[in-house]
Structure 1
Amino acid sequence: MNALEEALKIKDQIIAWRRDFHMHPELGYEEERTSKIVEEHLREWGYKIKRVGTGIIADIGKEGKIVALRADMDALPLQE
């Protein structure tokens, strides 16, 4: 199965997570709830996790080429 097929299998769950994160925004360095949820899912999927404050480093643990992914989890304080 390729990456697209894998992603499509969990598409609805990913959409639900995005909606949940948007309903519970957290400012930079205060993303306790968000990082806890992300960490729980990564552990369920078998990744080795290292926490750095509210940041997360997930290690697949396989040899060979490395892919790094960086993503922001914080919200911006906006007045509407």
Structure 2
Amino acid sequence: MPGPSDKTGNAQVRLATIVIVAAFALWMAGSALGGALGLPVRFAFLLDLMCIAALVWALAVLYRVWRRRQDNGV
């Protein structure tokens, strides 16, 4: 039977999923918009670093949830 920590894990997985989808959408839209507007390359690198940071954070959250579920035997 799922306990309170299971609900927290599900919420964290849901949040990480939203962050991943939003980061990729922002990455693609920002790259297309930056190219269309002719923005300097430094803004493209800044966008890349922000999106990579979001993806690394989501990966860390998913790893932590996965380890917690492995420890609990879920």
Same fold by TM-score greater than 0.5: no
More helix by share: 2
Q: TM-score, normalised by structure 2?
A: 0.33
> How does the TM-score come out when normalised to structure 1?
0.31
